[in-house]
Amino acid sequence: MEVYLDNSATTRVMDEVARLVVEIFTKDYGNASSMHKKGVSAERYIKYAKETLSKIMKVKDKEIYFTSGGTESDNWALMGAAYANMRAGRHLITTQIEHPAILQTMDYLERQGFEVTYLPVSEEGIVSLEALKKALRPDTILVSIMQVNNEVGAIQPIEEAAELIKKHNPQTLFHVDAVQGFGKLPMYPKKWGVDMVSVSGHKIHGPKGVGILYIREGVKIRPIIYGGGQQKNYRSGTENVPGAAGLAKAAEILYRHLDEDRERLYELRSYFTHELLQMDDVRINGPISEGAGAAPHIVSASIEGIRSEVLLHALEERNIFVSAGSACASKKHTISATLQAMKIEQSLLDSTIRFSFSVFTTKEELDYTLKTLREVIPMLRRYKRY
């Protein structure tokens, strides 16, 4: 049996999505900017993608812009908005547990003369609204908070944060990195008061190399990629037609069954976390349950006495695939900034594994994983950690 529990790193492309992408690559392969019928056919897919995604998010299709993925969307939202609005102020706010695409961009902007406030989080990994309220200033031009933390699955209070921000200053922009939330949770930016939203295709069973940035009409933002003037001069570059259509098709399928899929994932997550907690010296990081703010698809577990890299490879030998924290940092052997911000004990920082589910995950796969963990954990603990 092969068990893939690393869906927060990337997901298997849905069969229907793969068929659509191949058809575009091989038959409707025209450039969407070309004026001949091949180009017109390609442009129809872009139109379909925008209409589909805007309907899901309840926004205008002209507010959807295609990018190369979540990282570019995050970079564009932060740099584009910061530079376009710097006359109004140079103060930015984010949290201590954001994805590196946010944190490293904020670091860059600090070096360009902007000031950044990093909000603390609770022991469950949820941002402090009180800290946000205190951090807002007259010169705050942008706030960026993720919808779901990619390591521990903590759902952030986006609607409440938006209300605070807009009450303080309606001109302060609010960006949400929804890469881990989109496709699992609702996302209604206009209703909630969110100005920009980042989404990635390969996290929702779509293709790699494509994402979107929702930009509310009227938001001042600069391009960060220049060239042929595509997408109303905001994001140049030949449109990734198969990527855009594939992302939209995956989103269309997921949101068609969102409620039932989410309920089933929460049942699997509840079962899995309960069984993990029956094991000796295993703790769950982040919210335990749906009511406490847990996303349906991510479980972060610290297994005392075993380095995460060792356990990861032990599971891999038995055809079970997981992550040692975020996939973007797992090859660098860095200590998780998220776990540090949550004040996880030092001894557990490099003993943490992330299990992440998808709509394809089954109880049989989780049972096999639990059985394997019960076998390998005692065995690995017989060896010294260092």
Residue 305 near residue 351 (C-beta atoms within 8 A) = yes
Specify the amino acid at residue 43. Answer: E
Residue 328: active-site member: yes
- Convert 303-342 to b/e letters by CB count within 10 Å (16 or more is b): bebbbbebbbebbeebebebbbbbbebbeeeeebbbbebb
User: For residue 84, with 0-12 CB atoms within 10 Å meaning exposed, 13-18 middle and 19 or more buried, which class applies?
Assistant: middle
Distance from C-alpha of 358 to C-alpha of 262, rounded to nearest angstrom: 10
Residue 264 near residue 25 (C-beta atoms within 8 A) = no
Q: What is the 3-state secondary structure (H, E, C) of 267-325?
A: HHHHHHHHHHHCCCCEEEECCCCCCCCECCCEEEEEECCCCHHHHHHHHHCCCEECECC
Specify the amino acid at residue 32. Answer: A
- Which of 88, 328, 335, 349 is catalytic? The answer is 328
Signed CA dihedral, 364, 366, 369, 374: sign only: negative
Alpha helix (H) residue ranges in the chain: 15-26, 37-57, 70-75, 81-84, 100-111, 129-135, 158-168, 189-192, 241-256, 258-277, 308-316, 337-341, 363-381
Give the CA-trace dihedral at 13, 16, 17, 21, to 10 degrees. 120
Which positions are annotated as active-site residues?
328
